[in-house]
């Protein structure tokens, strides 16, 4: 029996390689200084989906919500083995918190229609909330299994999954369709495949073509540009390389539940914590010295 | 998260420095051919972009996935089963699976078989990176020349049946040449091929030291003409692993423990003739070996790169006498010599691979090109002969120089690490053990020198150097260095003339010194070309000339000494043969 999977992925700033320019003067993230990468745990989600496809047959559809640049992670999915890629992009979705994001993603999943699995990374490294996967499952009305480490058994419409619960594991069973969030110990994401890369590296979503045309033809009028976009999009479509692009209307989303309007999360205050080194003190390598240091750290509330 | 392409400035520099667009145009027939497989590049830029991305994939797999396994594979090796089959170490298998998953096992094969149709220069870069991660894996990844040989010489039926299996990573192969009494001298191969009443070929005999002899696809050199005792009696056969081919021994080696080296017994094994009878050694194996030699040069570069990096880091962090040891001039010399050596080898090996691409593509067009005008055919034939002569010198030079260089670099790495380098705690000792085979297999250094020396004494060297000597440099310092290289070349030619005057044996005796000198001049020219575009390379070139040109003078002086004692007074100098115990 073949199974169809949808993988929810996100492009994130590479917070693991933070440099001094990562934060602006006002304490907000300087996105320009951080390279945008495939959210690491989402790669494991993609791998989980590809493994199901490899073992049982079926399809893998990658979905991401984001600005035009997010097309990069969709292409990455195509290089690694995804059959289909969908870019959800709409200005009205900007500023979405986890509630609005999960609403939009669940609408997209409903629009895709038939599926057996939704895989997502456990959490993204920019927000670290781990909420979007579970919230999607709620909105789709399907079982959610978080911290997937292994698909233990898959037979008919029942899946048995081992969850990593921190200090151990548990095995749970659910009826399909199911949403699973995947942890990094689940698998080793496969490398990009060269033939697939050569075949699909020119794949673009319409919004990416629009940007390229604007850059390449800065002096052309709108009509000329639009005609060029249309021409390029059609050429890609014929080669099967036009990445599907959906806005809120295509997925039947209520705009008041999206973007800032649909996001109850409000940032109360952003505090820039600057760690300054004020001189240094030497701790003698004696029992007494170490005791003194620990005492100081406890008083400082650094420890305990 | 290591990427052996992105972290290697020199490889990336050469990737841009060498005209890959030109190679892409050749490889893709000016982008006029049909678009096999749906993943053909649109134009030269598109092709070069794909090459770069493919190398990034190789770099990631090498750095993230292969390198972490190398130590355990080295310690544990592969296993010979009682039934004459071999189980690869699970991590070796995992490495191969990763490479197959990334579509990298048909690197240079045409797309119609599922290959990537990359130039061999790009493959050489990839091979180097894989070897830096685990030298022994190169012996499996680097065996793609077997598929290339089948592509070049077998009939369509065999190609269609076998090549996609290589490209999709379903099979690996072995070139089954060496025998107990046929090592460097392959003309002495004895394994017998005969035809039964129905005309089917069968193989009988023993092969030894066969890398990946346990692979699925075997290309076997065998004596098909019982009455012809030299190389003209040998043909090449195709066969697959079966219970009639038994591995009876797995060698215990000094290094490259991840590569299974097999002794094999063929017991009436059914086989298919590849190409024509009697051309096995003189045409097919020679072609196969040439590609394989560039592969060993790349393997050597990978080992040297790994060793060099280890030493560089150690010299920087190891504190003695109140500071890092790299501040000691003697250590600084060791470390910079290593780096220089690696870049020198790379310059020569990549240039060789580039010329190989020209040769291979030209031959391909000659053989299969339709609508060639008689005139073009003539020109291409002439060009072909010229390239063959150049490659006949460059390939053995690259193999010889890089392999000798990697042993020296690996040896020096241990020296930099001192006592720690001698211990198994560091990879330095593995690098030295792995490096040691490179001057031996695919033709020993001594055999490479014989081939290269013909190029030096016959004028190929002078021809190769000529356009470099005529090159105009805007930078006066580069021009001055070029002038010194002209002088060096003249000196080498004088020494060559002198040696020739004393006969063939004398030339062979000093072949190595002549070849060493010629290589030093050639690499210097390549460095000058690089230095035009890169300030650091100017310093590299300057240092290389300072170090090497005095050696050239010394070599020439020795050659001109007229001293033939090593063979004229061999018994006296070598002393008596030791009595048997």
Cα–Cα dist A99/A97, whole Å: 6
Q: Kindly state whether residues B185 and B240 are assigned to the same domain.
A: yes
Tell whether A151 is covered by a domain. yes
Pick the closest to residue B519 from B357, B387, B405 (CA basis): B405
Pick the closest to residue B402 from B329, B490, B302 (CA basis): B302
Cα–Cα dist A194/B55, whole Å: 9
For residue B63, give how far its alpha carbon lies from the nearest alpha carbon of chain A (Å). Answer: 12
Tokens 């129905």 belong to residue:
B198
Tell whether A253 is covered by a domain. yes
Q: Kindly state whether residues B231 and B380 are assigned to the same domain.
A: no
pLDDT digits (tens, 9 = 90+) for A54-96: 999 999 999 999 999 999 999 999 999 999 999 999 999 988 8
Tell whether B549 is covered by a domain. yes
- Chain A residue with minimum CA distance to B112: A195
Q: Answer whether B39 sits within 8 Å of A199, measured CB to CB.
A: yes
pLDDT digits (tens, 9 = 90+) for A197-234: 999 999 999 999 999 999 999 999 999 999 999 999 99
The parent domain of residue A114 ranges over 3-203+241-262
Among B380, B408, B439, residue at a domain's last position: B439
Q: Kindly state whether residues B114 and B76 are assigned to the same domain.
A: yes
The total of structural domains in chain A comes to: 1
Cα–Cα dist B45/B50, whole Å: 9
Structure tokens at B252: 């215990």
Residues from chain B contacting residue A53 (CB–CB below 8 Å): none
pLDDT digits (tens, 9 = 90+) for B336-349: 999 999 999 999 99
Q: Answer whether A196 sits within 8 Å of B60, measured CB to CB.
A: no
B563 half-sphere exposure, CB direction, 13 A CA radius: 10
Cα–Cα dist A257/B375, whole Å: 74
Q: Kindly state whether residues B405 and B471 are assigned to the same domain.
A: no
Q: Answer whether A191 sits within 8 Å of B61, measured CB to CB.
A: yes
Q: DSSP letters of A180-218?
A: EEE-GGG--PPPPPHHHHHHHTT-EEHHHHHHHHHHH-T
Q: Answer whether B102 sits within 8 Å of A201, measured CB to CB.
A: no
> Does residue B156 have a pLDDT over 80?
yes
pLDDT digits (tens, 9 = 90+) for B67-76: 999 999 999 9
Tell whether A270 is covered by a domain. no
Residues B184/B447, Cβ–Cβ less than 8 Å:
yes
Cα–Cα dist B580/A277, whole Å: 75
What distance separates the 2 farthest-apart alpha carbons in chain A?
Answer: 79
Helix (H, G, I), strand (E, B) or coil at B435: helix
Tell whether A188 is covered by a domain. yes
CB neighbour list of residue B520: distance below 8 Å, 6 or more residues apart: B488, B548, B549, B551, B552
Residues from chain B contacting residue A195 (CB–CB below 8 Å): 37, 39, 103, 114, 116
Is the pLDDT higher at A298 or at B6? B6
Distances (CA, A) of A97 to A45, B430, B478: 21, 53, 61
Distances (CA, A) of A39 to A16, A102, B88, B109: 11, 16, 35, 34
Average pLDDT of the residues in B530-541 = 97
- b/e sequence B11-41, b meaning 16+ C-beta within 10 Å: bbbbbebbebeebbbbbbeebeeeeebebbb
Q: Kindly state whether residues B187 and B110 are assigned to the same domain.
A: no
Q: Let me know if B472 is exposed, middle or buried by CB neighbors in 10 A (0-12, 13-18, 19+).
A: exposed
Cα–Cα dist A225/A208, whole Å: 13
Residues B158/B274, Cβ–Cβ less than 8 Å:
yes
Tell whether B570 is covered by a domain. no
Residues from chain B contacting residue A196 (CB–CB below 8 Å): 39, 103
Among B281, B305, B321, residue at a domain's last position: B281
The sign one gets for the Cα dihedral B109, B112, B114, B119 is: positive
Q: Answer whether A194 sits within 8 Å of B102, measured CB to CB.
A: yes
Tell whether B573 is covered by a domain. no
Q: Is A198 on the interface with B (CB under 8 A)?
A: yes
Q: Kindly state whether residues B315 and B258 are assigned to the same domain.
A: no
Helix (H, G, I), strand (E, B) or coil at A35: coil
Helix (H, G, I), strand (E, B) or coil at B104: coil
Tell whether A230 is covered by a domain. no
pLDDT digits (tens, 9 = 90+) for B208-258: 999 999 999 999 999 999 999 999 999 999 999 999 999 999 999 999 999
CATH code, B470: 1.20.120.470
Q: Kindly state whether residues B452 and B379 are assigned to the same domain.
A: no
Residues A152/A160, Cβ–Cβ less than 8 Å:
yes
Q: Answer whether A198 sits within 8 Å of B57, measured CB to CB.
A: no
Tell whether B84 is covered by a domain. yes
The parent domain of residue B195 ranges over 173-281
Average pLDDT of the residues in B92-114 = 95
Q: Kindly state whether residues B554 and B433 are assigned to the same domain.
A: no
Tell whether A224 is covered by a domain. no
Q: Which of A198, A202, A203, A235 to mutate to test the interface with B (most CBs of B within 10 A)?
A: A198
CATH code, B276: 2.40.110.10
For residue B186, give how far its alpha carbon lies from the nearest alpha carbon of chain A (Å). Answer: 37
For residue A42, give how far its alpha carbon lies from the nearest alpha carbon of chain B (Å). Answer: 17
Cα–Cα dist B351/B380, whole Å: 21
Tell whether A247 is covered by a domain. yes
pLDDT band at B396 (very low <50, low <70, confident <90, very high): very high
CATH code, A185: 3.40.50.620
A288 half-sphere exposure, CB direction, 13 A CA radius: 1
Tell whether A267 is covered by a domain. no
- Among B37, B65, B102, the residue with its CB nearest the CB of A193 is B102
Residues in B 185-214 with any Cβ partner in A closer than 8 A: none
Main-chain phi, psi angles of A60, to 5 degrees: -130, 125
Q: Is B49 on the interface with A (CB under 8 A)?
A: yes
Among B281, B296, B311, residue at a domain's last position: B281
What's the first-to-final CA gap in chain A, in angstroms?
54
Residues A206/A245, Cβ–Cβ less than 8 Å:
yes
Residues B26/B361, Cβ–Cβ less than 8 Å:
yes
- Among A193, A199, A201, the residue with its CB nearest the CB of B101 is A193
Residues B1/A43, Cβ–Cβ less than 8 Å:
no
- Among B39, B65, B98, the residue with its CB nearest the CB of A198 is B39
Residues in B 9-38 with any Cβ partner in A closer than 8 A: 37-38
The distance of Cα A126 from the centroid of its chain, to the nearest Å, equals: 10
Q: Answer whether A192 sits within 8 Å of B37, measured CB to CB.
A: no
Residues A255/A249, Cβ–Cβ less than 8 Å:
no
Tell whether B581 is covered by a domain. no
> Does residue A260 have a pLDDT over 90?
no
Residues of chain B with pLDDT > 70: what percent?
A: 99
Q: What's the ipTM?
A: 0.91
Tell whether B568 is covered by a domain. no
Distances (CA, A) of A135 to A63, A65, A140, A148, B14: 16, 15, 9, 16, 50
Q: Kindly state whether residues B19 and B90 are assigned to the same domain.
A: yes
Helix (H, G, I), strand (E, B) or coil at B241: coil
For residue A75, give how far its alpha carbon lies from the nearest alpha carbon of chain B (Å). Answer: 13
Predicted TM-score of the model (pTM): 0.92
pLDDT digits (tens, 9 = 90+) for A20-39: 677 666 656 676 677 899 99
CB neighbour list of residue B309: distance below 8 Å, 6 or more residues apart: none
Residues from chain A contacting residue B45 (CB–CB below 8 Å): none
Least confident of A37-41, B19-23, B30-34, B415-419: B30-34
- Chain B residue with minimum CA distance to A54: B101
For residue A71, give how far its alpha carbon lies from the nearest alpha carbon of chain B (Å). Answer: 17
Residues B286/B164, Cβ–Cβ less than 8 Å:
no
- Among A190, A191, A195, the residue with its CB nearest the CB of B116 is A195
Structure tokens at B27: 């490889």
The total of structural domains in chain B comes to: 3
Q: Kindly state whether residues B52 and B86 are assigned to the same domain.
A: yes
Cα–Cα dist A61/A123, whole Å: 19
What pLDDT does A214 receive?
94
Residues of chain A with pLDDT > 90: what percent?
A: 71
Q: Which letter does DSSP use for residue B88 in this model?
A: P
Helix H, strand E, coil C: the string for B343-394 is HHHHHHHHHHHHHHHHHHHHHHHHHHCCCCCHHHHHHHHHHHHHHHHHHHHH
Average pLDDT of the residues in A290-300 = 86
The DSSP bridge pattern shows strands A204-205 and A178-182 to be unpaired
- Number of Cβ within 10 Å of residue A290's Cβ equals 12
Tell whether B475 is covered by a domain. yes
> Does residue B175 have a pLDDT over 90?
yes
Q: Answer whether B39 sits within 8 Å of A193, measured CB to CB.
A: no
pLDDT digits (tens, 9 = 90+) for A98-146: 999 999 999 999 999 999 999 999 998 888 888 999 999 999 999 999 9
What pLDDT does A159 receive?
97
pLDDT digits (tens, 9 = 90+) for B253-311: 999 999 999 999 999 999 999 999 999 998 999 888 888 999 999 999 999 999 999 99
- Number of Cβ within 10 Å of residue A144's Cβ equals 18
- Chain A residue with minimum CA distance to B55: A194
pLDDT digits (tens, 9 = 90+) for B316-373: 999 999 999 999 999 999 999 999 999 999 999 999 999 999 999 998 888 877 778 8
Cα–Cα dist B313/B130, whole Å: 21
Distances (CA, A) of A286 to A228, A291, B149, B334: 75, 9, 70, 42
- Among A188, A195, A201, the residue with its CB nearest the CB of B103 is A195
CB neighbour list of residue B423: distance below 8 Å, 6 or more residues apart: B429
Main-chain phi, psi angles of A138, to 5 degrees: -60, -45
Cα–Cα dist B280/B274, whole Å: 8
User: CA dihedral in degrees (A139, A141, A146, A150; nearest 10)?
Assistant: -130
> Does residue A275 have a pLDDT over 80?
no
């Amino acid at each position: 029996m073949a199974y169809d999977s949808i993988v929810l992925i996100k492009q994130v700033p590479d917070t693991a390689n933070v440099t001094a320019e990562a934060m602006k003067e006002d304490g907000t993230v300087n996105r320009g200084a951080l390279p945008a990468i495939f959210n690491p745990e989402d790669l494991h989600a993609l791998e989980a989906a590809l493994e199901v496809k490899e073992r049982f047959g079926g399809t893998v559809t990658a979905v991401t919500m984001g600005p035009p640049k997010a097309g990069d992670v969709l292409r990455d999915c195509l290089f690694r083995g995804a059959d289909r890629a969908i870019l959800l992009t709409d200005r009205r979705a900007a500023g979405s918190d986890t509630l609005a994001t999960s609403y939009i993603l669940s609408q997209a999943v409903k629009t895709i229609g038939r599926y057996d699995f939704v895989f997502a990374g456990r959490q993204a490294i920019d927000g670290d909330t781990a909420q979007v996967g579970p919230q999607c499952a709620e909105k789709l009305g399907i079982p959610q299994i978080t911290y997937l480490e292994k698909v233990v058994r898959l037979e008919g419409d029942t899946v048995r999954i081992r969850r990593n619960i921190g200090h151990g594991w548990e095995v749970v069973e659910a009826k399909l369709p199911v949403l699973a969030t995947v942890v990094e110990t689940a698998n080793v994401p496969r490398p990009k495949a060269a033939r697939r890369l050569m075949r699909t590296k020119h794949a673009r979503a319409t919004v990416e073509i629009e940007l390229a045309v604007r850059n390449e033809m800065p002096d052309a009028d709108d009509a000329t540009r639009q005609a060029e976009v249309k021409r390029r999009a059609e050429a890609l479509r014929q080669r099967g390389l036009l990445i599907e692009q959906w806005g809120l209307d295509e997925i039947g989303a209520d705009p008041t539940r999206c973007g800032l309007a649909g996001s109850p999360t409000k940032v109360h205050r952003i505090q820039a914590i600057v760690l300054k080194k004020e001189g240094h003190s030497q701790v003698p390598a004696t029992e007494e010295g170490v005791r003194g240091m620990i005492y100081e750290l406890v008083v400082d509330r650094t420890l305990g | 998260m290591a990427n052996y392409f992105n972290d290697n400035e020199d490889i990336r520099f050469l990737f841009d420095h060498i005209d890959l667009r030109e190679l892409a145009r050749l490889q893709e027939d000016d982008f006029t051919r049909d678009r096999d497989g749906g993943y053909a590049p649109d134009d030269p830029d598109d092709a070069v972009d794909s090459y770069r991305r493919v190398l990034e994939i190789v770099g990631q797999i090498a750095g993230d996935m292969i390198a972490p396994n190398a130590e355990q594979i080295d310690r544990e090796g592969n296993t010979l089963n009682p039934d004459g089959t071999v189980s690869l170490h699970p991590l070796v298998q995992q490495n191969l699976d990763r490479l197959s998953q990334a579509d990298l096992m048909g690197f240079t094969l045409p797309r119609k078989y599922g290959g990537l149709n990359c130039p061999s220069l790009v493959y050489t870069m990839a091979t180097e990176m894989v070897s830096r991660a685990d030298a022994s894996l190169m012996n499996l990844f680097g065996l793609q020349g077997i598929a290339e040989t089948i592509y070049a010489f077998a009939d369509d039926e065999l190609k269609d049946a076998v090549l996609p299996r290589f490209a999709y990573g379903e099979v690996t192969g072995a070139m089954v040449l060496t025998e107990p009494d046929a090592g460097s001298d392959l003309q002495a191969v004895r394994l017998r091929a005969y035809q039964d009443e129905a005309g089917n070929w069968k193989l009988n005999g023993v092969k030894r030291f066969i890398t990946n002899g346990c692979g699925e696809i075997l290309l076997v050199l065998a004596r098909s003409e019982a009455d012809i005792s030299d190389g003209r009696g040998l043909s090449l056969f195709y066969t697959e692993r079966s219970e009639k081919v038994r591995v009876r021994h797995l060698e215990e080696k000094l290094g490259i423990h991840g590569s299974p080296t097999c002794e094999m017994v063929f017991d009436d094994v059914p086989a298919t003739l590849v190409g024509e009878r009697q051309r096995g050694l003189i045409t097919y194996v020679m072609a196969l070996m040439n590609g394989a030699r560039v592969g060993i040069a790349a393997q050597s570069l990978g080992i040297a790169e790994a060793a060099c990096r280890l030493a560089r880091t150690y010299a920087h962090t190891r504190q003695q006498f109140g500071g890092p040891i790299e501040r000691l001039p003697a250590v600084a010399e060791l470390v910079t010599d290593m780096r220089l050596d690696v870049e020198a080898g790379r310059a020569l090996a990549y240039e060789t691979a580039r010329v190989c691409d020209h040769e291979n593509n030209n031959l391909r067009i000659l053989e299969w090109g339709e609508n060639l005008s008689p005139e073009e055919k003539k020109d291409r034939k002439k060009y072909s002969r010229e390239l063959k002569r150049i490659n006949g010198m460059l390939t053995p030079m690259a193999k010889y120089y890089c392999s000798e260089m990697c042993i020296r670099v690996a040896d020096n790495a241990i020296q930099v690490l001192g006592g720690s380098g001698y211990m198994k705690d560091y990879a330095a000792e593995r690098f030295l053990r792995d490096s040691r085979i490179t001057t031996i297999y695919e033709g020993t250094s001594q055999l490479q020198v014989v081939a290269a020396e013909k190029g030096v004494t016959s004028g190929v060297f002078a021809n190769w150097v000529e356009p470099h000597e005529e090159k105009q440099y805007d930078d006066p310092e580069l021009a001055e260095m070029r002038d010194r290289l002209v002088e060096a070349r003249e000196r080498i030619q004088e020494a060559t003339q002198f040696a020739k005057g004393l006969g063939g044996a004398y030339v062979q005796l000093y072949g190595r010194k002549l070849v060493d000198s010629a290589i030093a001049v050639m690499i210097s020219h390549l460095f000058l070309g690089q230095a035009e575009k890169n300030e650091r390379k100017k310093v590299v070139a300057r240092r290389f000339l300072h170090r090497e040109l005095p050696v050239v003078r010394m070599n020439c002086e020795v050659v001109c000494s007229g001293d033939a004692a090593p063979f004229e007074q061999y018994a006296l100098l070598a002393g008596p043969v030791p009595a048997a115990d």
